[in-house]
Chains A and B, each alone.
Chain A
Amino acid sequence: MTASATRTNRITTTRPEARAEVSASGKRNPIAHLTPEDIEDIGRELDAIRDEVLASRGAADAAYIRRMIRTQRSLELASRVVLLFSKFPPAFVVGTTGLTVAKIIENTEIGHNILHGQWDWMRDEKIHSSTWEWDFASPAEQWKKSHNVEHHTYTNVVGMDNDLGYNILRVDPDQEWKLHHVFQPVTNFFTALFFEYGIAAYDLDVKGFKDGTKDKDVFMADLKKVLKKLRAQMGKDYVVHPLLSGPSALSTLLANAIANTARNVWTHSVIFCGHFPDGVETFETESIEGETRGEWYVRQMLGSANISGSRFMHVMTGNLSHQIEHHLFPDLPSNRYAQIAPRVRALMERYGLRYVTGPLPKQVGSAWAKVFRHSLPNKRPGHSQLGDVVAAARDAVTDVLDSTRGMWRRDRRSLAAAPA
């Protein structure tokens, strides 16, 4: 990858010979103290934890996911029924709350995890990654490819992991600053509001299509599937259910809009907390070439952050509150992450690795602080950050003028020629 070879930003590599003790912006290498043997030992220990869970997977786990699905569907059904009378404020509040929770669990603890293949071992064709479809703008098939393959393989590798868009956000001092990063707090806010559509666009690889790296026919076929799904989703939430509510149509429509938006903001926050809070590392492309199993595990641990909280919280996040455990073992049933978390944490602490975790508000705050902080260029001694931004803006304007000057002249000439 030539683009990344010339990139000046950090970061950590797990390959000792390629490791810098300190990054360009002065960040310490978090695994400088580990030998290659340590890293492989970590890998072996984690493999053993995984094998233990696999060997004990059974009826209780199957009962868990079935119960979760039953509860979620009952809650959704009940909330929809209550919303038929949403003209009455108490019904509106109860129905909207229920629908929001149901929609969140459908996406997180159920959809996300089933599509990861966490429940494929049950061989129940109704609860299987190859047959599941979810209440989300991106069709399951497209999401699985971009999420499971790209995000989980290239976790926090700058330039490769598009999950939350390193293309848009600058969240690391070693990432090169560009003028558009000034707007990233605003961009990020809107990404949160329309999260599912943003993800659908990522999964479609709209950017790849514009850059010419995605085949046009494939793109068009995928786009058709997305539009079909969008039509069904929108039809359900904004047409059919409201119409069914008769006199409560408008309030039901509003309830659906609130539920969808709240879910967008919630899932955005959860995922945002998974890889962006303070203490989470990012990696450069070279660092993953020829990566060993141990190195892969270490990268997953250092590139993820957990959220602490109650059991209900964990369910609401789809156990992505155990992001570290999930990234280590993406296909283990989500109900087991809480169980292995103390061991993973102990292991990381034993090897002097930071187990990043905290309550949701703290983690969200920390991630947002990064978005604000890095929207401005790094502080340079003797320069003001504002000055740097202004200079960059001036350069950008000059660039635009330079590249359009020819056009202006031609235009003026043709204008002058016209009356003659």
Chain B
Amino acid sequence: MTSPGDVVAPPQADRSSVKRALARVGRGARRVAEALATPLLPEDFIDLVDPLRSGADLRGRVVAVTPETPTATTILIRPGRGWRGHRPGQYTRIGVDVDGVRHWRAYSITSPVGAETISITVRAIPDGRVSNHVRHGLRPGAVLMLDQATGDFVLPDPAPDRVLFLTAGSGITPVMGMLRNDPLPRDVVVVHSAPTSGDMLFRRDLTALAAQGRISLVTRFTATDGILPVTALDGVVPDWRDRDVWVCGPTGLLDDAEAHWAAAGLSGRLHTERFRPRIHAVGDGGEVTFTGAGVTVAADAATTLLAAGEDAGVLMPSGCRMGICFNCVLPLTDGSVRDLRTGEVTTANPEDPVLVQTCVSAAAGPCHLRV
């Protein structure tokens, strides 16, 4: 018998044994469900009714598709219940089926944290498979595959007082994701370039923020004014040396910024986000064999091992597709591959396999990868 006093504070042991018993019941139920569904999983049947529930593979339902500019489109997505949220500036990956083929691409999250939906803003690039599909092929109600948010293009906590965002084109997306959250750093300068005012993303949001005095906005329309060289920053943001800077945009801008800040001895203050790898070297190409999948394909020097495998229907692991996340790493068990960013050739043999990033490597002669 327990005295009333005991009831107020039930012994720790009891509570945890109840929890353990419940867990055991849960596990037992799961085992029965598995036995009922084998060789499928119970999820395969539940997915028929509720593809967005928690515990399911992460998916998202398209809520709205809104054109931003003639080439850019914002997609509003309600993530499944397994979504763990994001930090401003991070990106997520979406998996969409274009002509029946699943493609995964990374997109910066442009919506504020804590909302029920997230948004991404995609600029269509010529011949781009996914970036063109989202505008014309995605309809509200469509379900797409989703990945948890990731990326370290974020403001530190606490945020620095004085910040410079240097962006061009669709590179504004992760910055917009940061600017839509409160509070902002005390002193924010945004230097943004776009071809014309009509092409400029988030024009209304940015000018509104500037009107409220929350940011200082410098815009540059490159079709009329030409590209703003980083060396000309002194004229625009004279105190750029005193600011932590986040840069996102085309490869040229990022390369120039890296050189500029390095020359000033300020690389430590520079944060960059690249949307595509910097390709320096192409080599020879060759026959790529995906052992395990039993597939061999000829790949030219500019085709990444990742793309070669995907095009042959091999299930390739992937992530950012540009050499930062290491999700795509596979063992090279034979032959040589070239790192497209550096031109460096890696050679392996079956006794001494080497892990390579398939998204930024191409065949340099015949090679074998184990999937």
Residue of B nearest to A148 (CB): B294
Q: Are B36 and A244 in contact (CB under 8 A)?
A: yes
Distance from A151 Cβ to chain B, minimum over Cβ atoms (Å): 16
The verdict on A70 contacting B36 (CB below 8 Å), with A58-B100, A121-B313 known, is no
Return chain B residues, CB-CB under 8 Å to A240.
32, 35-36
A122 with B102: in contact, given A130-B293, A131-B315, A133-B39 (CB under 8 Å)?
Answer: yes
Tell whether A70 pairs with B310 under 8 Å between CB atoms, given A62-B97, A122-B97: no
Question: Nearest B residue to A145 by beta-carbon distance?
Answer: B294
Report the minimal beta-carbon distance from B287 to chain A, rounded to whole angstroms: 19
Q: Taking the complex as formed, is A354 at the interface, i.e. its CB lies under 8 A from any CB of chain B? A: no
Return the CB mask of A221-244 against B: 1 if under 8 Å, else 0.
000000001001101100111001
Interface presence of A98 (CB below 8 A): no
> Within 8 Å CB of A57, what residues of B?
100
A121–B101 CB distance below 8 A:
yes
CA distance A244 to B48 in the complex (A): 22
Q: Which of B212-240 contact A (CB under 8 A)?
A: none
Q: Report chain A residues within 8 Å CB of B38.
A: 232-233, 235-236
Residues of A within 8 A of B99 (CB): 58-59
Cβ contact of B313, chosen from A59, A77, A117, A131, cutoff 8 A: A117
For chain A residues 234-256, which have a beta carbon within 8 Å of chain B?
235-236, 239-241, 244
Q: How far is the CA of A133 from the CA of B34 in the complex (A)?
A: 14
* Cβ–Cβ contact A62 & B48, under 8 A: no
- Contact yes or no, B315 A130, CB < 8 A: yes
Identify 9 residue pairs between A and B in the complex whose beta-carbon atoms are under 8 Å apart, listed by A's number. Answer: A62-B100, A80-B36, A120-B314, A123-B310, A130-B315, A229-B39, A232-B35, A236-B36, A240-B35
Interface size class of B (residues with CB under 8 A): 20 to 34
* B50 close to A (CB within 8 Å): no
Name A's B-contacting residues (CB within 8 A): 57-63, 70, 73-74, 77, 80, 117, 120-126, 128, 130-131, 133-135, 229, 232-233, 235-236, 239-241, 244
- Chain A positions within 8 Å of B39 at CB level: 133-135, 229, 232-233
A124 to B144, alpha carbons, bound, how many Å?
12
Complex Cα–Cα for A70 and B310 (A): 25
Q: Does B116 contact A (CB under 8 A)?
A: no
Q: How far is the CA of A328 from the CA of B315 in the complex (A)?
A: 25
Residues of B within 8 A of A (CB): 32, 35-40, 44-45, 48, 97, 99-103, 292-293, 310, 313-315
- Residues of chain B with a CB closer than 8 A to A70's CB: 48
Contacts of A233 in B (CB 8 A): 38-39
Closest 9 CB pairs of A and B: A62-B100, A120-B313, A133-B39, A58-B99, A123-B102, A232-B38, A240-B35, A59-B100, A121-B313
* Residues of the A chain whose Cβ atoms lie less than 8 Å from the Cβ of B314: 120
When C-beta atoms are compared, the residue in chain A nearest to B97 turns out to be A62
**A331 closest partner in B (C-beta):** B313
Min CB distance B98 to A, Å, is: 8
Give chain B residues whose Cβ lies under 8 Å from the Cβ of A61. Answer: 100
| Nearest-Cβ distance from residue A121 to partner chain B, whole angstroms | 5
Bound-state Cα–Cα, A57 to B100, Å: 8
Query: Please, which residues of chain A bring their CB within 8 A of the CB of B36?
Result: 80, 236, 240-241, 244
B-chain residues with CB within 8 Å of residue A244 when the two chains form the complex? 36
- What's the nearest-Cβ distance from chain A to residue B316, in Å? 8
A55 to B103, CA, bound (A): 18
- Report Cα–Cα, A77/B293, bound state, in Å: 32
A77 touches B101 (CB 8 A): no
Complex-state Cα separation, A124 to B313, whole angstroms: 9
A66 to B293, CA, bound (A): 23
> Do B100 and A74 have beta carbons less than 8 Å apart?
no
Partner of B35, one of A59, A135, A236: A236
Nearest-neighbour CB distance to chain B for A77, whole angstroms, equals 6
Nearest-neighbour CB distance to chain B for A109, whole angstroms, equals 16
CA distance A73 to B103 in the complex (A): 26
Most buried by A among B100, B293, B314: B100
Query: What's the nearest-Cβ distance from chain A to residue B99, in Å?
Result: 4
Complex alpha-carbon distance, A135 and B38, angstroms:
8
List the B residue with the shortest CB-CB distance to A120.
B313
A10 CB to closest chain B CB (Å) equals 33
Shortest beta-carbon distance from A144 to chain B in Å = 9
- What residues of chain A lie closer than 8 Å to B97, measured between beta carbons? 59, 62, 122, 124
Structural contact, B48 and A77, CB atoms closer than 8 A: yes
> A76's closest neighbor in chain B, by CB?
B45
19 more contacts with CB within 8 A, not counting A120-B313, A123-B101, A130-B293, are: A58-B99, A59-B100, A61-B100, A70-B48, A73-B40, A77-B45, A121-B100, A122-B100, A123-B102, A123-B103, A124-B97, A125-B315, A131-B315, A229-B39, A232-B35, A232-B38, A235-B35, A236-B35, A240-B36
* Distance from B321 Cβ to chain A, minimum over Cβ atoms (Å): 14
Complex Cα distance A61/B97, Å? Answer: 12
Q: How far is the CA of A59 from the CA of B313 in the complex (A)?
A: 15
> Within 8 Å CB of B315, what residues of A?
120, 123, 125, 128, 130-131
Residues of B within 8 A of A123 (CB): 101-103, 310, 313, 315
| Interchain nearest-CB distance for A244 vs B (Å) | 7
Min CB distance A196 to B, Å, is: 13
CB-CB under 8 A from B100, the residues of chain A are 57-63, 121-122
**Interchain CA distance A121-B309 in the complex, whole Å:** 11
- Asked whether A124 and B102 contact (CB < 8 A) given A232-B38, A240-B32, A240-B36, the answer is yes
Distance from B41 Cβ to chain A, minimum over Cβ atoms (Å): 10
CB B138 to nearest CB in A, in angstroms, measures 13
- Chain B residues near A73 (CB, 8 Å)? 40, 44-45, 48
Distance from B95 Cβ to chain A, minimum over Cβ atoms (Å): 9
Provide the bound-state CA to CA distance between A174 and B292, in Å: 40
CB distance from B111 to the nearest CB of A (A): 27
Residues on B with C-beta less than 8 A from A128 are: 315
Q: Which residue of A lies closest to B99 (CB)?
A: A58
Q: Are B310 and A74 in contact, with the CB atoms below 8 A? A: no
Residue of B nearest to A235 (CB): B35
